[in-house]
Amino acid sequence: MTVIHLVHHGEKEPMPGDPGLTALGREQAAVTALWFRQAKLAAVYSSPLRRARQTAQPIAVAARLPVQVDDRLRERVNWQGAQPLDRFLADWDRSARDRDFVPAGGESSRSAGERLRGFLAGLAGGPGPVAAVSHGGVTTDVLRTLAGDDALPPRLPDEGIAACAITTLQDLEVIAIADIGHLLDATS
pLDDT of 25 above 80: yes
User: Does the structure show a pLDDT above 90 at 155?
Assistant: no
pTM of the predicted protein model: 0.95
**More confident: 185 or 21:** 21
HSE of 136, CA atoms in CB hemisphere, 13 A: 19
CB 60 within 8 A of CB 39: no
Residue type, 58: P
pLDDT grade for 162, boundaries at 50, 70 and 90 = very high
Three-state SS at 153: coil
Determine what percent of the chain is predicted with pLDDT higher than 70: 98
Alpha helices, DSSP H only, in 37-108? 50-63, 85-97
Class of domain 3-76+108-187: alpha beta
The amino acid sitting at 10 is: G
pLDDT(154) > 90? no
Quick one: how far is CA 113 from the chain centroid?
A: 12
Closest to 9 in 3D by CA, of 30, 24, 25: 25
Which candidate, 146, 123, 143, 126, places its Cα nearest to that of 135?
A: 143
Kindly list the domain boundaries of the chain, sorted by start residue: 3-76+108-187
